[in-house]
């Protein structure tokens, strides 16, 4: 990964200006937000997102993004299933089952029909490979899901959900007029709906609940995991902007 987790982590620590100790933090999610905020700010400067905001992104490039994002989400669901199978807690299993169901429903109801309109057929899907950056991201999350405790896995996958909500909200705030007139307006609006916000908050609440009372060292490790995933997200945006169409 070009943006190394350790570099991202040092940057987030430096920006806090207190040697890494966040005195105002009470919940793990507060620490995660503080650690990843710089990476999310960087994401909003990515050319892919800027061109979506002002409507200048080429339809071919957006088509490629939709295709790669679909393939990524298929692997994302597989990772969720691994975590669900490993969990022995009914509350966590129920949460994951609901998350999997909602993601699959969105793929079938929204994502796949939109892909068909863009000319992305099942044959095209079957012949397309994920870019290396996305493959590395998936391997990282899959490894956590298979080998690490449930909290570490949920923290890693939370970044994806939370980053989209953050990026959409803040870019609408910054480029509102452009986005309202952009042909990609619906992409931004999808991640600011009450349903999406509530779903993301449920994930945050689950992570906070599981993290209650954990030791400082583990909190630091969870922040490292979260920032690592934020770095992979940023590389994903570069990959879909520069990848071969």
Whether 51 maps to a domain, the answer reads no
pLDDT given for residue 116 in this prediction: 86
List the CATH number of the domain containing 179: 1.20.910.10
Return all residues near 230 (Cβ < 8 A) that are at least 6 apart: 8, 36, 39, 40, 43, 159, 163
Residue 107 CA to chain centroid, in angstroms?
16
pLDDT given for residue 115 in this prediction: 87
Q: How many CB atoms lie within 10 A of CB 135?
A: 15
pLDDT given for residue 7 in this prediction: 46
pLDDT given for residue 245 in this prediction: 72
Whether 102 maps to a domain, the answer reads yes
Which residue range(s) make up the domain with 222? Answer: 57-242
Residue 238 CA to chain centroid, in angstroms?
14
Burial zone of 21 (CB within 10 Å; 0-12 exposed, 13-18 middle, 19+ buried): exposed
Whether 183 maps to a domain, the answer reads yes
Mean pLDDT in order along the chain per 10 residues (245 residues): 42 43 67 96 97 96 94 95 94 93 84 86 91 95 96 96 96 96 94 92 96 96 97 95 85
Q: How many CB atoms lie within 10 A of CB 78?
A: 14
Q: What are phi and psi of 55, to 5 degrees?
A: 85, 10
pLDDT given for residue 114 in this prediction: 83
pLDDT given for residue 20 in this prediction: 42
Whether 43 maps to a domain, the answer reads no
Return all residues near 72 (Cβ < 8 A) that are at least 6 apart: 130, 134, 137, 138, 236
Count how many residues are written for the chain.
245
- The reported pTM is 0.86
Whether 113 maps to a domain, the answer reads yes
- How many domains are there within the chain? 1
String of DSSP letters for 190-227: HTTSHHHHHHHHHHHHHHHHHHTT--HHHHHHHHHHHH
DSSP state of 68: H
Whether 13 maps to a domain, the answer reads no
Cα dist. 159→84, 120, 183 in Å?
A: 18, 27, 26
């Amino acid at each position: 990964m070009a943006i190394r987790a350790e570099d991202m982590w040092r940057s987030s620590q430096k920006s806090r200006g207190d040697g890494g100790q966040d005195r105002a933090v009470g919940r793990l999610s507060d620490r995660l937000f503080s650690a990843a905020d710089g990476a999310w700010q960087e994401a909003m400067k990515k050319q892919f997102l800027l061109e979506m905001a002002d409507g200048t992104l080429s339809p071919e490039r957006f088509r490629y993004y939709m295709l790669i994002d679909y393939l990524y989400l298929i692997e994302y669901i597989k990772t969720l299933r691994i975590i669900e199978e490993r969990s022995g807690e009914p509350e966590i299993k129920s949460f994951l089952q609901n998350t999997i169901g909602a993601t699959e429903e969105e793929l079938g109801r929204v994502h796949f029909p939109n892909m068909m309109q863009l000319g992305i057929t099942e044959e095209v899907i079957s012949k397309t490979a994920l870019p290396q950056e996305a493959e590395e991201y998936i391997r990282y999350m899959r490894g956590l899901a298979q080998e690490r405790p449930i909290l570490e896995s949920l923290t890693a996958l939370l970044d994806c959900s939370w980053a989209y909500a953050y990026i959409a909200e803040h870019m609408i705030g910054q480029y509102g007029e452009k986005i309202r007139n952009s042909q990609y307006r619906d992409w931004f609006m999808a991640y600011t709906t009450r349903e999406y916000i509530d779903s993301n908050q449920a994930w945050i609440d689950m992570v906070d609940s599981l993290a209650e009372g954990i030791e400082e060292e583990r909190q630091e490790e969870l922040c490292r995991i979260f920032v690592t995933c934020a770095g992979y997200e940023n590389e994903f945006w570069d990959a879909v902007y520069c990848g071969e169409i």
